[in-house]
Amino acid sequence: MNTAEYLVSGGVAGDTAVIDSDGPHSYADLRGEVMRRISRLHEVGLGPGDRVGLVGPNCFGWVAGYLAVLAAGMVAVPIAPTLLPDEMVSRAKWLSLDATFLGSLESRRVAGRLRHTLDLEWDGTSVPAAEISFVEVSEDRDATLEFTSGTTGRPRVVRLTHGNLQANTESILGYLPLTSRERVLVVLPFSYVFGASLLHTHLRVGATLVVQRSAAFPQQMVDRMASERCTGLAGVPSTFAVLLRNSTFGRQPLPDLRLIQQAGGKLAPAMVEELRRAQPQARLFLMYGQTEATARLSYLPPDDIDRRPGSIGRGIPGVCLRVVGEDGTEVKPGEVGEIRARGGNVSPGYLDDPEETARRMPGGELRTGDLATVDDEGYIYVVDRREDFIKSWGVRISSQEIEAAALQLDDLVSVAVVGVPDEEAGERVEMVAVRRDGSTITEQDILVHCRARLARHMVPVTVHLVPLIPLNSNGKIAKQDVRELCVGWGSADASPEGTP
């Protein structure tokens, strides 16, 4: 089945599909707009298999454009506006984009290299609902090309098939209790697989997506959840950090909020407890995934959070996870190995990169690059990303463990720990931290706190207090950028105070 048909066939015509800055849009509106955009794609000569990029903020027009591309048998290429121009042009020769980004592309001399640009915005005219002509596709046909988060390096382009999208959506709906009555606040970009999974699951059950274009102003998120009576919220660690420590989220009752989803990196244990106390009526699902797995790989049910603190849970329905050592055999409980995954959601590979595909997905099994332990009942505990481990004085150190200790200080909103090249130690541990509004905590206060809770070799050599930590377009901490900042500060012998 074509994924667009799979997603929009169940929504009741009069029910609300999307609420954005233009107001509510029904499922009937959505189907009519999808059909209008299919016609526009055909007018410019596009056909099945052609790649169409989507550049712009979350909105009704983005959703309709995405579904139109899939329905027409084309390949959608969701692109974060922060991606480099060459990456945009090399992956999609046609762009459907928000007008606000056209000037930016022209200034970077990109627009002239594209064959077509199509308007992604909604023109304000409702189109009568019509029966959509869906192009029949096989499940192994490419549906989207997704850029990885690039938190440790340059993003790669992942091929996701119609089968991948539908398999992962079914798996998520197998454990999340979603119904047509949901109203989820969406702050994650649809160009990010976690944001896309919210789009897929909620459209599939005929629910409502309440679009909040930015998470930069956390109090606006809280106010929107209250005014729209949102039943759901999803975010990455940075989303919840600013909500918990720079807004009224922990004090303002949100009685309609019943389900919270967290993924996109490990949420520090102190933050997990703070989140549960903030909205105790809401069930918290902690999840783990990768772009190469179409979004989700595992989840920890709310009832297991106290029994399995720090765990990412076990594989979602239809996914087999195992933790293996260097020899490829499964590790014993307590030993560290790499998480590997099999399932219908695992990508067939990277675009135009057979060598990396063979390395990361040998025999169709995904090598995640995440190191973890496992307990007697198969619950998995991530130790760190392989690339994020710090090797100092011959000892391998988990950056996540240091970050979790620092975030016990409620004066801190976010923290990133990296290894910086050092002639004697190999790598020295450095920390970058953001204080909550109004806090006067000092670098020395943070070091004293860490010394009381961490082994000596894990205590950062230096703490840099900054107004912002570099994030990628998906709201995840860009460790490579943090590392480069620390190296620059060290070589310049300058204070980072005031550096973004």
Please state, in angstroms and rounded to a whole number, the distance separating the CA atoms of residues 147 and 78: 8
Percent of the chain with pLDDT over 90: 70
Over residues 355-395, the pLDDT tens digits come to: 999 999 999 999 999 999 999 999 999 988 778 888 887 78
Backbone angles phi, psi at 318, to 5 degrees: 85, 0
Using alpha carbons, select from 65, 32, 60 the residue that is nearest to residue 46: 65
- Most confident segment among 81-85, 128-132, 160-164, 486-490: 160-164
Q: Phi, psi at residue 235, to the nearest 5°?
A: -165, 170
The residue-averaged pLDDT of 88-100 equals 60
CATH 3.30.300.30 fits 389-490, yes or no: yes
Name which of 26-40, 88-102, 403-417 the model is least confident about. Answer: 88-102
pLDDT above 70: percentage of residues in the chain: 88
The reply to whether 389-490 shares the fold of 3-374 is: no
Q: DSSP letters along 199-221, please?
A: HHHHHHTT-EEEE-S-SS-HHHH
AA identity, residue 108: R
Calculate the alpha carbon distances from 268 to 155, 159, 311, 369, 413 in Å: 25, 31, 11, 20, 11
pTM of structure? 0.87
Does domain 3-374 correspond to CATH entry 3.40.50.12780? Answer: yes
Contact indicator for 283, 262 with CB cutoff of 8 Å: no
- What are the extents of the domains in the chain? 3-374, 389-490
- In Å, how far from its chain's centre is CA 179? 22
Map residue 342 onto helix, strand or coil: strand
What are the structure tokens assigned to 146, written together? 């997704």
Residue range 149-154: average pLDDT?
Answer: 54
Compute the distance between CA of residue 240 and CA of residue 296 in angstroms, rounded to an integer.
19
